[in-house]
Structure 1
Amino acid sequence: MRNLRDLRYALTTVSADQKLTGDQTLVSEGGVFELGFFKPGGNLALLDGSSNQVWSTNTSSPRSGSVVEAVLLDSGNLVLRDRPHDDASEPLWQSFDHQTDTFLPGGKIKLNKKTKKAQYLTSWKNLEDPATGLFSLELDPEGSTAYLITWNKTEHYWTSGSWNGHIFSLVPEMRLNYIFNFSFVSNENESYFTYSLYNSSIVSRLFIDITGQIKQLTWLESFQQWNLFWSQPRQQCEVYAFCGAFGSCTENSMLGPCNCLKGFEPKSLSDWNLEDYSGGCQRKTKLQCENSNASNRDKVGFQEIPNVVLPKEAQSVGSGNAGECQSICLSICSCTAYAYDSNGCSIWDGNLLNVQQLSSDDSSGETLYLKLAASELHADKSSKGTIIGIVVGVVLGVGILLAILWSRKRMLVSGKAAEGSLVVYGYRDLQDATRNFSEKLGGGGFGSVFKGTLDDSSVVAVKKLESFSQREKQFQTEIRTIGTIQHVNLVRLHGFCSEGTKKLLVYEYMPNGSLDLHLFQNKNFVVLDWKTRYQIALGIARGLAYLHEKCKDCIIHCDVKPENILLDADFCPKIADFGLAKLVGRDFSRFLATVRGTKNYLSPEWISGVPITAKADVYSYGMMLFEFVSGRRNSGELSDCDEDDQFTFFPTRAANIVAQGGNVLSLLDPSLEQNADAEEVTRMATVASWCIQENDTHRPTMGQVVHILDGILDVNLPPIPTFPQN
């Protein structure tokens, strides 16, 4: 807000003989609202090139000798009135009668019953252009007490339900209200909904977004940002034609809600970058019957798109089987897709609208067959060839692995080790190697770790499991998981000892110890610079991606935290301590009933009791990323105090600063003295915010995290995480 005393720029009233020009603004008396000229990429003028007037309120003073003035009220209403004026008198003109995209308390969205003229709340075209968009909110023109959201003033895709005297029946959030006073007025002249605030110090607004959703926001002064109170429709993909023709909508996608179907590309990439997807997508290659150049004509085929909500406006045709259904679509040039299910054959003629791709954990979708030029399908065949090659390679790899395992079995019987196999050590040998377990490197819930030197002078770390009656399962898990896999970012298990209750694991030695010793400013260890932290974060992501996505079965670590990340001589990170790990298979159908992990890194699923997937590791990794940035624990006692002396959980504070485009370097570990790449800090904090989303389906996979940190993949700003704060 500008300084109200600086009258060179801010005015409280504008008289008939005054002008509001340039950077001057009109400010309400209490300083709540400010009016100025909007300049979307240039100057906004009220005159055309010939200096002709293009807009006017068309009002004049009804009284001779009176002076007309413009006043911006604290309600946000711009009013033209006579001076002197009576507060009870009607204004000559007011902006509340001419709504744009925002509906403020005290305003109306009305229907004139005599003229049948409706008042609309209309979205912007895109993020930067306030021109009229496709989505609008209006009172039902048929005379009911329900509000409708429409696309292009033709398609109604949401209704509030009728007014029941207190709320709209299909907006249950209104029942939870403690801020607003709602009312619906209907008389012989007009019908309208309006609302006011119980507390006049609260600032709130309802607007229709470029997303096609209406959103009620309230201002949080302490965070200097708008807080979403409720929105409708709740799901983005419920908005009609949101992704345009041949666009596919995906809920809560980290890559954005809209993508073009296979074989299509955005008609206007610049519009898509401004989140205006209405133009949809166009074919990369024309179909045979659409191409007038006969010599270049391509044949056509069909691309299978599984697990989607089928587009609207299908035509049902009679056919006996899927093959006949395909033939019918193939014979009609304008047929763009077909589907065959228990309801028979459906085909789509012309543009496909409202295709929705469902998530992998929602199997309620249908299969759509999209007609494409053969050249687009050839690319898939090449991909299939690559996949076949990969499969052959995997088969060969499995054969080699079986040979290694057979060799390992012989080794276990004979007591001798083959190269690349686990070694079975005697307890006395390890006791000698560690000088009777005299040099302790660290410890945890499963036992202590000691430094040892083998007969070949190689240095190892020996983990001695304690209270073994309770640790047999963890011992077996460690051997079963890490004993058969190798990756540069996973600690290597050399062998083990199993003599009665004496159970020991022998790992490669990591001279720089565990990550927590460096990250949390232990005076005996070197402080990690930003470049090193970023590379460590990237290495951990690669290791977890390997466990989740590259192994035969998905391996969930279940205890990702700095203490379980070891650093070699070059500070290359190695994920360690697989005692809690779980092999769950690719379908994630196993239910993990026992809570596993460490308090500050536990995902919400562990507490709510829902099935656990690899996204639990993603959550823990995200919490750890915030510690990479701050250099301290995310625990409550180490939270920050903001400018208003309010406790702010660090992940929440970091997410807010990123969302507002604030100074991300202010989040950094003080020991770094802001010596870091701001883009990388932003990227890490953004990834972390996505990783700790309460709903696990909203979190990225670790493979996606690798691509983002590598700079290969761009992501949208995430919603502010709520679970850590709660």
Structure 2
Amino acid sequence: MMGSARSQTWCFLFFFFSFSYFCAAADTISSGQSLTQNQTLISNGGNFELGFIRPGNSLNYYIGIWYKKVSVQNKTLVWVANRNSPITPDHLSTSEFKLLDDGNLVVLNQFKIAVWSTNLTMSNNVIMNSSQAVLKDDGNLVLRNGLKESDIYWQTFDFPSETWLPGGKLKYDNRTKKPHLLTSWKNPNDPSEGLFSLELLPAGNEYVIRWNLTEPYWTSGAWNTQNQIFSGVPEMRLNYIYNFSYIQNENESYFTYSVYNSSITSRFVMDFSGQIKQLTWTENTQNWFLFWSQPRTQCEVYAFCGPFGVCSQKGFPFCTCMEGFEPRSSKDWNLNDFSGGCVRRTSLECGDKDQFYTMSNVKLPAKPQSLPAAASADECRLACLNNCSCNAYAYTSSKCSIWDGNMLSLQQFAADENDGGPDLYLRLAASEIKKPPGGKNNGSNSTGIIVGAAVGIVALLCLVLVLVWRWRMRQSIGTSKTVEGSLVAFTYRDLQSATKNFSEKLGGGGFGSVFKGILPDSTGIAVKKLEGLGQGEKQFRSEVSTIGTIQHVNLVRLRGFCSEGDKRLLVYDYMPNSSLDSHMFRQQEDDKMLNWKTRYQIALGTARGLTYLHEKCRDCIIHCDIKPENILLDAEFCPKVADFGLAKLIGRDFSRVLTTMRGTRGYLAPEWISGVAITAKADVYSYGMMLFEIISGRRNSDHSEDGKIMFFPTWAARKITEEEDALALLDSRLEGDVNEEELTRACKVACWCIQDDESHRPSMGQVVQILEGILEVNSPPIPRTLQVLVENEENIHFYSDTTSNRSSQVQSTSSTSSHTKSSISSTSLKSQKD
């Protein structure tokens, strides 16, 4: 006690003689104190740290706040003070972050000039030298009265940079009539203010993203107080972890949000890509997982590729320069900062010597100038040619448009996109018009004749080569080698020939496209061209050989594969009745509707296939993407689970798998979002969502009669649990033609499958037993993500043995297969028909 008293006395004395001496807690600095080069503040719980930091590969230093416990190797910043006034390395040792006597926090450079400040004017009743700055464990840096901690003068949560943390505000100030912006970085190495910002509109209930503080290109839509979502972000209905709140008073209007599970680390970012992104940290992958982003596609971001840049969703990078142009700054482009755009390689001559390059199938640039006087395409062309500042023209729908300044937001559609656009004629110096790839030019007639003759000769030669190639292919078919079991290693030429050079596309997904083919023995096949698969040839062959040994009547049979160079293809049996979704949601007028008996057998067969993957294989295989599109139907409408091998081929990397599943988030189990380890129960959840669709004939997220989006399982769970009205869930097209016992059984098991807590979900083996009538299923609770209803989950009963009518409580292990244990009698097990 004596030592402690002396320590406090010395601390008190030093406080008056040297303001830079640290006697305060590690998370606090008081008036007159400062942080220098290697000094930091650490929040009380150790979640956040503040100090001088060099972001990414930057050479400059900034005062910032970053995560202390996560992303240790590459620090993730959540707030930057002097983002537009960096400290250079040679001046770092003489710079400081200081709390002045007047109550302001400042960043001082080597000349002790403030390059950043909180710019507060303290009232007369504030006691001088009583301020303190505290770094809180939620990432908020609070400037407050040290004598009365409830008096907050300033806090970073009111002034975010590009990150919005849980508990923070993104507000509109009703007193100053100005919004507080969330502004992007310029690029990953430069936290200075970029071109993209998110702000709350004056009405106070709608957000917009603007380019350069002017052009709005995305809106959240108005806040729906009743449903607690933004009208333009319907995905919020499927939100598992975030709780948004709206507050409005005479001083301010703002939104704030929290995380249901306090163990989840989450951040909301106005990214330098021009998209807002919600990210959560996953411990097992040590990476940030993208929960959602808006706008949905990169090319929807206004002017993302800068002046004279072209955006395309076909691949990465998204930006290229227009023909005849080159990047203004290759250094910036290498950092994915395309804002500087492109510049001409060759200046225009301003006259008829310039020519036009045709860009086909594009979304025209923003802000054209209309020329009503130009009544034809030729007149439009001449009008542009006679205007020295005209860079391009387009003639669409009998209207002439020209662009005489920077051309922004030009998008190139893929050749096979259905919503392709018009032609744009880009003005170039004649020397730049050579061989435009994928385009045409408006050169002289003589040039056209010469080119046409050359093309004709080339076409004739190609025809001869094709005939010779096809003859040789017919001779070579059958040279493929059989490997383990009946699995065949096809050559790429074999599959080119069988699919007629991949001409008939059956469908596609995140991992590639599927094409129809016919082998020489007239056997129908489906060939999947895998994209973005990083395995080497030896590893790929080994994995495929393993998958080839997995055979079940309810799994699509893998006939063979191709692995040549960087080409990776899988060959399956062709399913003549396509996928389940085509019969449920894309039914043509002449298509036969699936009756209840067929639907029930599809549900049961799918469950058996998944049971085999989860419980009967040497290693548990988690499918990771169960949905109607991945349930194929043979000639007898027997269901076949497809793409089950991709889970093994791709591996269990969360961010990679979830990227491909972003379009089908309605089937994702809550644990995908929260970042915990995934077990076979994730497939059970997806199966439950799909089972609701089989029963109802509608997507789990659908439009109601009044045009509002309705999450169908919410309503279905209430009907099952509260009203016990399974018939209300039945597809109206069946007109009540159903086995009511089977319907009730299927509805209840679907609701059990989508429980939030995976320990309350059945295993797929138990689902099979329930659907076969071996196990009796009890009434389920409504999942909390659908309705916050169940608080005490310790006594939830899932099913009871029909032979003894004894209730059994579900218990679950945390093993990979996550089999649910129960007191099923041996008699029931023996009578299982699988």
The normalised TM-score by structure 1 is: 0.56
1:124–1:133 Cα contact (<8 Å) kept: yes
Deviations along 1:142-184, whole A, 9 cap, x unmatched?
x352222111111122222222322322222222233233222
Q: Does 1:74 align with 2:170?
A: no
Aligned to 2:330: 269
Aligned to 2:60: 42
Equivalent residue in structure 2 for 1:444, among 475, 486, 489 = 486
Match of 1:210 among 254, 272, 297: 272
After TM superposition, give the deviation of residue 307 of structure 1 in Å: 0.9
Matched, 1:147 2:207: yes
Alignment partner, residue 177 of structure 1:
239
- CA gap of 1:287–1:574, structure 2 versus 1, over 3 A, is closer
Post-superposition offset of 1:101: 0.7
Aligned with 1:326 (options 381, 388, 400)? 381
Q: Which moved more, 1:61-70 or 1:47-56?
A: 61-70
1: distance between equivalents of 2:477 and 2:357? 53
Q: Confirm or deny that 1:607 pairs with 2:630.
A: yes
Q: Which moved more, 1:338-347 or 1:238-247?
A: 338-347
Match runs of 1:420-431 below 5 Å: 422=475
Find the aligned partners of 1:103 and 1:312 in 2 and give their Cα distance.
30
Contact 1:478 1:579 in 2 (8 A): no
Deviations 1:243-294, CA, capped at 9 Å, x for gaps: 111111112x4321111111111111111111211111111111102xxxxx
Q: Counterpart amino acid of 1:300?
A: D
- What residue is the counterpart of 2:362 in the other structure? 308
1:10 and 1:91 map into 2 onto residues whose CA distance is 18
1:342 equivalent to 2:402? Answer no
**1:224 match:** 286
Q: Structure 2 residue aligned with 1:23, among 38, 45, 62?
A: 38
Amino acid at match of 1:368: L
Alignment check: 8 A CA contact 2:558 2:570 kept: no
C-alpha distance in 2 between matches for 1:128 and 1:187: 38
- Alignment equivalent of 1:395, drawn from 436, 447, 460: 460
Aligned to 1:356: 411
SS at match of 1:366: coil
CA distance in 2, matches of 1:367, 1:48: 54
SS at match of 1:37: strand
- Are the structure 2 counterparts of residues 340 and 620 from structure 1 closer, same or farther at C-alpha, using a change threshold of 3 Å? farther
2:426 equivalent among 350, 365, 370: 370
Distance 1:192 1:578, change over 3 A: closer
**Cα distance change on mapping 1:579 and 1:388 into 2, 3 Å:** farther
**Are 1:54 and 2:115 an aligned pair?**
yes
Counterpart of 1:184, as a letter, is Y
Q: 1:380 to 1:194 in 2, by over 3 A?
A: closer
Give the conservation status (yes or no) of the 8 Å contact 2:31–2:129: no
Of 216, 220, 223, the match for 1:156: 216
How far 1:221 sits from its partner (Å)?
2.6
C-alpha distance in 2 between matches for 1:573 and 1:194: 48
Q: Report the Cα offset of residue 47 of structure 1.
A: 2.8
Distance 1:76 1:332 in 2: 56
Shift of 1:117: 2.6
Q: Tell me the amino acid that sits aligned with residue 19 of structure 1.
A: S
Alignment-derived partner of residue 165 in structure 2: 104
- Deviations 1:464-516 (Å, cap 9, x if unpaired)? xxxxxxxxxxxxx999649999xxxxxxxxxx999xx9x9xxxxxxxxxxxxx
Q: How far, CA to CA, are the matches of 1:497 and 1:156 in structure 2?
A: 57
Post-superposition offset of 1:91: 1.5
Map of 2:27 onto structure 1: 12
CA distance in 2, matches of 1:113, 1:576: 60
Contact 2:361 2:413 in 1 (8 A): yes
1:580 and 1:204 mapped to 2: Cα distance?
Answer: 44
**Contact 1:478–1:581 at 8 Å: present in 2 too?**
no
One of 125, 131, 142 as aligned partner of 2:186: 125
* Cα deviations by residue, 1:15-56 (Å, 9 ceiling, x for unpaired): 335432223321211222222212231343433453322223
Provide the rounded CA distance (Å) in 1 between the counterparts of 2:496 and 2:369.
58
Give the partner amino acid of 2:362.
Answer: V
Matched, 1:249 2:311: yes
Q: In 2, distance between residues paired with 1:389 and 1:535?
A: 43
Once superposed, what is the RMSD of the aligned Cα atoms? 5.2
**C-alpha separation in 2, matches of 1:606 and 1:329:** 49
Check whether the contact 1:205–1:217 (CA below 8 A) recurs between aligned residues.
yes
Q: Distance in 1 between matches of 2:208 and 2:485?
A: 62
The one-letter code sitting in structure 2 at the alignment partner of 1:177 is N
For residues 261 and 24 of structure 2, what CA distance do their matches in structure 1 show?
30
Q: Residue 349 of structure 2 aligns with which residue?
A: 288
Matched residue, 1:687: none
Determine the structure 1 residue equivalent to 2:702.
Answer: none
Task: Give the count of matched residue pairs.
Answer: 487
Secondary structure at the counterpart of residue 161 of structure 1: coil
Q: Using the alignment, how far apart are the partners of 1:216 and 1:383 within structure 2?
A: 39
SS across alignment from 1:55: strand
Alpha-carbon shift at residue 123 of structure 1 (Å): 0.7
The one-letter code matched in structure 2 to 1:33 is: F
- 2:358–2:439 CA contact under 8 A, matched in 1: no
Is it true that 1:83 corresponds to 2:146 in the alignment?
Answer: yes
CA distance in 2, matches of 1:313, 1:347: 9
2:261 aligned partner: 199
The sequence identity of aligned pairs, in percent, is: 44
Contact 2:244–2:258 (8 Å) recurs in 1: yes
Change (3 A) 1:605 1:350: farther
8 Å CA contact 1:245–1:351 kept in 2: the answer is yes
- Identify if the C-alpha distance between structure 1 residues 303 and 497 changes in structure 2 by more than 3 Å, giving closer, same or farther: closer
Distance 1:135 1:483 in 2: 47
Contact 2:303 2:339 in 1 (8 A): yes
Distance in 2, matches of 1:107 and 1:182, equals: 11
Structure 1 residues 534 and 110, CA gap change in structure 2 (3 angstroms) = same
Counterpart of 1:239 in structure 2: which amino acid? Answer: V
Taking structure 1 as reference, are residues 401 and 50 closer, same or farther at Cα in structure 2, changes over 3 Å only? closer
Residues 173 and 371 of structure 1: CA distance in aligned 2, closer, same or farther (over 3 Å): same
Structure 2: tracts of 5 or more residues without a match: 1-21, 62-86, 88-94, 96-106, 441-449, 503-518, 524-534, 543-555, 576-585, 592-612, 614-620, 634-642, 654-674, 681-816, 818-834
The code of the aligned residue for 2:343 comes to: Q
Residues 277-315 of structure 1, C-alpha deviations (whole Å, 9 max, x = no match):
1111111111102xxxxxxx9921111111111112122
The residue identity in structure 2 corresponding to 1:359 is A
Task: Tell me the SS of whatever aligns to 1:131.
Answer: strand
